[in-house]
Amino acid sequence: MTETIDNLLERIGRNFQITGQEVKKAGLAALHCSQEQLHGVLIYLKEVEKFDTLTMIGCADWIEDDYFELSYMAYSFTTFFTVMVKIRVSRDGSSVPTVEGIWRQARTFEREIHEMFGVDFPGNTRLKEFFLENWQGMPPMKRDFDTVQFVKDHYKLREEGREGACNVSVERKKRIDAKKLELKKEGE
Amino acid sequence: MDNLNKKDKAQLKELKSPMAVVDWAVNWFRKQSIFMLAYGTGCGAIEIPPTVTARYDAERFGVRGAATPRQADVIVLSGYLAVKTLKRVIRTYEQMQEPKYVIALGSCPINGGMYWDSYNTIKQLDRYLPVDVTVAGCMPRPEAVLEGFMALKDKIQRGEAEGARDYRDNIEKYKNNQKEIFGDKMLPGYTCDWYFSDGGSF
Amino acid sequence: MVSALAVFFLGTHKIIRELLSIVSLALLTGLLLMRIVSPVSDDFTWQYMPGFFTLSFSLSSFGLLFALIAAISGLLKSFASWGINSKGYHALFHLMMGGLMILLSAGDYISFFLGWEIMTWSSFMLFNNFSSADDPIEKSQDTGFLFITLSLISALLMLGVLFFLYNRTGSMNIADGVAWLHGVKGLPSWIPGLLLMSAFFLKSGLLPFHVWVPGTYREAPHTFTAFLSAALSKVGIYAFILFFLPFSLNEGSGQISYLIAWIGAITATVATFKAIEQNDMKGLLAYSSIGQMAYVFTAMAVGSSLAMGGALFQMVNHSLIKLLLFFIVAGIIERTGKTRFDQLGGLIYKMPFSFIGVLVGIIALAGMPPLSGFYGKWMIYTSLIEKGWLLVLTGIVLPSTAAFIYCYKLIYGIFLGHPTEVNPEEAKEISPRYRVPSGLLMASIVLLGLFPGLILKPVNVLLSDLGMETLALTSQGSLNAASGSVSGFMVMNVFGGVFAVILILLSLFGKKAPTRNLHRLDIAYAGELPTEQTPLHYGRGLGHEVKRVAIAGAIVKRSLTEKYMKIGNQLGGILEHVRGFYPGNGQVSLIMTMVGAAAVALLIGLKG
Amino acid sequence: MLFTIFNSLLAVLLTYSMGMLYYGFYRIGNARIHRRVGPPLWQNVIDNIKLFAKREAPGHGIMFHLGPVIMTAGTITSMLFVPFLKDSAWLQGFSSYGNLILLIYLMVVGPLGNALAVGVSGVPFGVMGVTRGLTRLIGLEVPFFLSVALLMSGSGTISISEIMMAQDSFSNWNMMAHPAAFIVSLFSFVGMMGASPFDVVGAPVEVYSGPQAEFGGKYLGFLAAQRVMFSMVKLILWVDLFLGGATNVFILMAKSFALFFFYFIVGAAFPRFKTEQAVDFMLKLPLIIGIGAVLVRFWSL
Amino acid sequence: MAQDIITIFHGPQHPGITGNMSVELDLLGETIKRAETHVGYLHRGFEKMIERRTVLQAFTIVCRICVPEPDPNEENFARGVEELMGLEVPEKAKWLRTMVLEMARLQAQMLWFAGQGGSLGHYISPQWAVADRDLILDLFEELTGGRVYHMYITPGGVRRDLPEGFLGRLGHFLDYLESRLPEYDNMLLRNPVFLERARGVGIIDPATAREYGVVGPNLRACGFMNDIRKDEPYEMYGEVDFIVPTETSGDVYGRAMVRRAEIEQSISILRQIIRRMPAEKEIMAVLPKNHRKWEVPKGDTLVKTESARGEYSYYMVGDGTDKLRRVQVKGPSAVHAITLLEEMLVDSQLSDVAMIMNSLGTNPPEIER
């Protein structure tokens, strides 16, 4: 099976400038290309290589090297291959043209990445708010968003229960001794 | 009345004035028939079907489902509450009729539970709504939920299940807490304007 | 007879001010009422052209009933249409009243046809040219054309048959014609009878010829629509009784009356399901009028005295209800400027009087017990059961049950639900000009509900005139038939008493569990928040789902109006070719049809 | 007059308690079918009293307040026009003044009065429920009227008590005398009682519990009490028309419980039709049986 | 302006909604003209919390993503970590995982059956189905200690071995369930009213099924024989033989038949597992020595598993520290409940909304986590 995935990668390499490719495991290959190439590769995969559906659009935030890595995972029902087409976009104010025209479900994936990472997808028919209602802060999934700090500002954790936190086993022992004492008293 | 158990008979004996008997009777009827609102707010909602269906059968204790807040007595908040859900829950709670109760399942409504560090869930439910009974368990079992209903029934019988009156009396406190979360996008005032003595809206 | 003449002259003199019109109508009704008291039945022959034929007028008892309905509805209408100050309107209206009076008191064919034509033409002029200035309904050319062509054809048919009868019987007065019609046996000689009948059906808008009704009702001036539906549609019934009633009693004509009963039932079903479909108030009421008229024809087809009584009771009742509903609808249109259900809504607390008026109207229209509508239906159903026509009964039950939907749509679309284009704050009650007649009508409907006997006593007098045994009326408030009786008085009192007791019981809880009045948007909305802009008024969608029921869907899809217009256009096309011979414009097609029909009429006349 | 008032009070109490008893069995029977224990027998009464014990009630103006009142008045009025017993002066209500056709129309007065209150409350779900109810009524009323007309034209009278009198022995119970009419009427009986294939009006899953969406507290209490009494009125009507009426209350309860058991079994077994499917079904099978019965009757004459 | 449509919410607080989501419907009468799904009522920000937790801490949260069927999430997460770290899971653990997955799948299908009956107003089927589902939850409780959230499949293997006599009780339950299935058929699936309601409603046309990304039983009801357990076998699905049932009608009835056949398939798979369960004791992979700080090497992978409602896919990125850089979850409802549902509801009726949503198996927590 792997050789056909290599043939596949090699065929794609011939038509498009592929910066890097690797085969992760049987049936899963990844290739890096530039943002301009993205649409070409995806349309090629769908039309020529019969990759019927887009499983998901992954997005990882590499804050050290200051880029988001978007990976479009196309899946083919005939050969059961998944190809991850990866592109790198800047962390702030980047915009990738939508792939909704190719696969309809991309609209939902892009909408989620737009809300969580702030990547703009011009052409997407429904880029309004998805999970968070009236969210004023920065997109929450970016690494520099500190969720514990956000919790401290917006919500108040229960104080009175904390200091009274007692050691369960000690409490249990006390209860048992009191019970024994009581039984002994009733015994006399 | 076959379901008048020992505790009820004991309370009945030491009632003095006739008014106390009437109150007791009214509370007894409120206790015996509780309409639970059909609203699965959190992950605990998966344990409500087993509670009301054949194996654990909450209808034995008079607990029946109700479709709309107007018909319901108790709202069961099963697990954590996202901010968006909290707004709907508060509106539904305010649409329910006066002797209304809140049962919170799991540890998330108490102190945020497992999602204490999540930016979208509320940490203490009783800052925003008066909670009558809290049931422990990271998603309590159907027996625990039934135990919660039993605790609520005892509280109703003792006449202490007055979360609704507490909500009405210090409405300013609750509304301020809610304002912290919702900022300017507060709920419209008309569901609770008449709570305010001066009729002002929030 | 004097009253007929008085009106005739008054009409022709084109009195200008409305005050005079009301006085004249009041005078007319007074004369008619006086007429009942002194039952002198003198017929008045007026020699118009010496030697050729004489016009004889005599007001028989049931002619009187129809005249009374027309006069009362005319009086209320002129009171309601106080505002319209165009003098032509009132003059034409009186001309029509005069024509109606002539028709009702006509003894011979010529005056009958004369009255018929005057009435048709004046009503055509009225509804086609006059409408109040800010009337939101635009006039479409088709309805006028449809109305006049159809009534023209029916008039010519009638002319032909009358000539044929004259030819047969040698005399002009109607009585001998009727006797001849019923003497003849066998189907082929029934053609003149059927043709005459179709002319009358057209006037009351039964199935094949009902297409003109909705358009005309929708575009006529609002108060005139009330008169149209209350009085003019009854003329067809008067003519049917005048010519055909005696025959439906004898057994010989079993199949024809069964056929008419089925025509009535099918018309009612089609009209009811079309009414549910309508999105504007006047269209809904127009179709409902067709449906109610169909019940009357079915009842007359049964022929027993109970059925005849039921038909007349239903007819009187229907006039009162339709007057009430059309007046209030006219008031609402005048006040809000809106006519459709998806433009109105939520006006209940700002227009309480009109709400109660429409409520009383729909309860009576749907035939629900406490009010008078039920007793007409009850008599029709009982007579059908006694006659044994159970399938016709089922055919009638289907539309009368479906009628509940459009009754509810009428009252929901205007008053309940949420406000759409009309802001309830500025909506004011309808003007007193409409409120006074509606108040009177409401009182009369409720009174009839309590004491149905009020109408049934004169109906008894009328039945004895027609040679049928009268209804057994034990008391003012109850009706009896061979198979059972119902007491309206008792039903109303029981319902009222129980209602009062429960109201007191419910308000007992007021102290302990006070009712908290909620904001318009504070509704059980599945947890979400409706905003001011959220569309929540179900007016347009209310009857929408009934189309999915097999029988209703089939009816609503097909529309006779298009077919007629197609025929009309084809006819116009053919005449266009013929027009090649004659100069002149589109009017030629009209004249051609007239000439052609007249030729046919003469032919039939000579053939006989 | 005093006797009839006392008589009608007795009728109201009897139907309320009988209804609560039957619906108590209904809930326990349903539970047993669901393989569970089910509530105590008087749970419906407790629910009803709890609703009246609520401390506040939602209101949308005076018309909303009057809706449940008209509904209950319609029910009790139609109850008073049904003769409960065969040949005893008790529990006759005002049935001597009314007849069957009046009763069929009286049964619609209540729901339409309530429809006004549902309309004024402004809940779109409520109006959808009412429209579904009226559309379903077309399907139920036509076969029912046909079967009842067969009965009336057969026994030559339209007053219920006379029809009831005519059925003296078992052999000429109308169930036996007019079997086709009885079968057709059973179809619409199941529909009118709101059993499962036809319970499209207040479907919580589809229309957010339909007309009762906005009623709470004491209003819901009145509606619940009325619903139970309304079912009892229909049961007693069917017993009078087809099962030979009853000479005393116990026979009445026995016969009506048999009918109620039929309704309960059908109700438990089926999922729910859509509104138009319910009307199409009613205008297909039952109507054809009815028309067949009419043809047989009149052609054989 | 003139309102011919009304807007209602088949909202969060509604007896006919599956879970806590809402569908905004524009209705003319009861015909739907426009539908829009609103989610976000259950958003807890899983992926953010997993970034702050080590692999073992994240393992307890992962199963709470999807309520009706938590085990595919656990298995997905575990397999992803194992692929990244190259752990070798012993065969016994794989058998145990396959058994737990199939038991979870069975109870999810029973829950679907309850929801399908409830959405049609047939109140017997929810009662019976949930009661029988409870018996599986008892077995889970015995095996893993938790009724619904089992936290049993840890990265590297399985937390506990089988209690003795468990397989016998499991076999007994399977016989009992198999004897109940014909009764279920007669009660709902062959009920004439159900057939009339379910046929020809909510049709997914096969041409665009793949393009919309439809997965699981909904795809198989359109005639495509695709099942991750067959196409890319994981755990022990390679050794177990089962057929992938398909229908061609693509409507609610077709999906019901596919799910009904899958219940039988799950029962036969579990029976095979009971027969072939190896006896040895070793259930955990060899773990890194310092179990406090697991080094997850840099790299990413995509792992997919088949749940009762369709294909779950986990995109996991490790960055060399002991915490995972990114775990992105895509549940089947993310595709079914939004793009597909909205287009399918147009011109259908309000009374079908609950039924269609139940037959698609829409479940909000998968969408927004």
Contact residues for D130 (Cβ-Cβ < 8 A; gap 6+): C408, D111, D115, D118, D119, D201, D210, D211
**Both tokens of residue E336?**
């079914």
Q: Which of A170-184, C181-195, E181-195 shows the highest mean pLDDT?
A: E181-195
Distance from CA of E249 to the nearest CA of B (A): 31
Nearest-angstrom CA–CA distance, E8 and D208: 11
pLDDT over 50 (residue C1): no
> In this structure, is residue B30 part of a structural domain?
no
**Contact, A100 vs A124, CB < 8 A?**
yes
pLDDT at position E102:
94
Distance from CA of C528 to the nearest CA of B (A): 6
Range of the domain at B146: 35-183
ipTM confidence score: 0.90
> Strand pairing partners for C479?
C486
Nearest-angstrom CA–CA distance, C256 and C190: 10
pLDDT over 70 (residue A180): yes
**Contact, B78 vs B47, CB < 8 A?**
yes
Q: Report which of residues C200 and B166 the model is more confident about.
A: B166
Chain C CB within 8 Å of residue B23 CB: no
- CB-based contact B2 D40, cutoff 8 Å: yes
- CB-based contact D43 B29, cutoff 8 Å: no
pLDDT over 90 (residue D225): yes
- CB-based contact A147 E213, cutoff 8 Å: no
Report, as an integer, the average pLDDT of D33-56: 91
pLDDT at position E95:
92
Range of the domain at E35: 6-368
Annotated domain spans of chain D: 2-300
**Contact, C481 vs C313, CB < 8 A?**
no
pLDDT at position D153:
84
- B65 contacts on D by Cβ (under 8 Å): 204
Tally of CB atoms within 10 A around E179? 9
Domain containing residue B47: CATH number:
3.40.50.12280
Nearest-angstrom CA–CA distance, D275 and C56: 59
Full-model pTM: 0.90
Domain containing residue E237: CATH number:
1.10.645.10
**Contact, E137 vs E241, CB < 8 A?**
no
Q: Where in C315-450 does DSSP place strands (E)?
A: none
Which site among C422, C523, C545, C556 would you substitute to test the E interface, given the most E Cβ atoms closer than 10 Å to its Cβ?
Answer: C545
pLDDT at position B75:
94
pLDDT at position C45:
47
pLDDT over 80 (residue C430): yes
Report, as an integer, the average pLDDT of E179-201: 92
Distance from CA of B102 to the nearest CA of A (A): 19
Nearest-angstrom CA–CA distance, C191 and C193: 5
Report, as an integer, the average pLDDT of E227-233: 89
Residue bearing tokens 């399985």 = E158
pLDDT over 80 (residue E76): yes
**Contact, C519 vs E6, CB < 8 A?**
no
pLDDT over 90 (residue E316): yes
Q: Report which of residues D96 and A38 the model is more confident about.
A: A38
**Both tokens of residue A129?**
């708010």
Range in C139-153, D74-88, E93-107 with the lowest mean pLDDT:
C139-153
**Contact, E357 vs E309, CB < 8 A?**
no
Q: How confident is the model at residue D115 (pLDDT cuts 50, 70, 90)?
A: very high
Q: What is the DSSP string of D153-173?
A: HHHT---HHHHHHH--SGGGS
Tally of CB atoms within 10 A around B127? 18
Chain C CB within 8 Å of residue B168 CB: no
Residue C529's closest CA among E42, B91, B40?
B91
Nearest residue of chain A to residue B117 (CA atoms): A148
**Both tokens of residue D130?**
């009412």
- C421 contacts on E by Cβ (under 8 Å): 1-2
Number of structural domains (chain E) is: 1
Distance from CA of B84 to the nearest CA of A (A): 6
**Contact, E353 vs E25, CB < 8 A?**
yes
Residue bearing tokens 């006997």 = C453
Establish, for the pair of chains B and C, how many residue pairs have beta carbons separated by less than 8 Å.
23
**Contact, D169 vs D250, CB < 8 A?**
no
Q: How confident is the model at residue C83 (pLDDT cuts 50, 70, 90)?
A: low
Interface of B with E (CB under 8 A): 37-43, 45-47, 49-50, 53-55, 65, 67, 69, 80, 82, 84-85, 88, 92, 114-115, 117-121, 138-139, 141
- CB-based contact A158 B180, cutoff 8 Å: no
CA angle C538, C542, C548 (to 5 degrees): 135
C-alpha torsion A131→A134→A136→A137, nearest 10: -30
End-to-end CA distance of chain D: 45
Q: How confident is the model at residue E291 (pLDDT cuts 50, 70, 90)?
A: low
**Residue-wise pLDDT tens digits, C505-553:** 888 877 778 888 888 888 889 888 898 888 999 988 888 888 888 888 8
Q: Can you say whether residue D209 is alpha, beta or left, with left for phi > 0 and alpha for psi between -120 and 50 degrees? A: left
pLDDT over 50 (residue A17): yes
Q: How confident is the model at residue D91 (pLDDT cuts 50, 70, 90)?
A: confident
pLDDT at position D26:
93
Nearest-angstrom CA–CA distance, D43 and B172: 39
pLDDT at position C42:
45
Q: How confident is the model at residue C245 (pLDDT cuts 50, 70, 90)?
A: low
pLDDT over 70 (residue E203): yes
pLDDT at position C15:
46
**Residue-wise pLDDT tens digits, C318-368:** 988 998 999 899 889 888 888 888 888 888 888 999 999 999 999 999 988
pLDDT at position A160:
61
- One-letter amino acid of C396: I
Contact residues for B120 (Cβ-Cβ < 8 A; gap 6+): A131, A132, A140, B82, B83, E43, E44, E45
- Based on its alpha-carbon atoms, the radius of gyration of chain C, rounded to whole angstroms, reads 25
Q: How confident is the model at residue C581 (pLDDT cuts 50, 70, 90)?
A: low
Annotated domain spans of chain A: 2-134
Task: Give the chains touching C; criterion: ≥3 Cβ pairs < 8 Å.
Answer: B, D, E
> Strand pairing partners for E31?
E28, E349
Q: How confident is the model at residue C58 (pLDDT cuts 50, 70, 90)?
A: low
Distance from CA of B89 to the nearest CA of E (A): 9
Tally of CB atoms within 10 A around D241? 26
Nearest-angstrom CA–CA distance, D115 and D227: 14
- CB-based contact D47 B98, cutoff 8 Å: no
pLDDT over 60 (residue C14): no
Establish, for the pair of chains A and E, how many residue pairs have beta carbons separated by less than 8 Å.
101
DSSP helix/strand/coil, D127: helix
Nearest-angstrom CA–CA distance, C396 and C265: 5
> In this structure, is residue B198 part of a structural domain?
no
pLDDT over 60 (residue C134): no
pLDDT at position E354:
92
**Contact, E174 vs E271, CB < 8 A?**
yes
- One-letter amino acid of C91: A
**Both tokens of residue C231?**
């009085």
Residue range A2-134, CATH number: 3.30.460.80
Q: What is the DSSP string of C146-214?
A: HHHHHHHHHHHHHHHHHHHHHHHHS--BHHHHHHHHHH--SSGGGHHHHHHHHHHHHHHT-GGGTTHHH
Range in B27-41, C560-574, D32-46, E201-215 with the lowest mean pLDDT:
C560-574
> In this structure, is residue E1 part of a structural domain?
no
**Residue-wise pLDDT tens digits, C386-396:** 888 888 999 99
- CB-based contact E29 C420, cutoff 8 Å: no
> Strand pairing partners for E153?
E158
**Contact, E368 vs E40, CB < 8 A?**
yes
Sheet order of strands, A28-33 included:
A18-25, A28-33, A82-89, A67-75, A53-62
Nearest-angstrom CA–CA distance, E158 and E92: 9
> In this structure, is residue B73 part of a structural domain?
yes
**Residue-wise pLDDT tens digits, C436-472:** 888 988 998 888 888 877 777 777 777 777 767 777 7
Distance from CA of B6 to the nearest CA of C (A): 30
**Contact, B59 vs B49, CB < 8 A?**
no
Query: How far from the centroid of its chain's Cα atoms is residue C555's Cα?
Result: 22
Report, as an integer, the average pLDDT of E109-119: 93
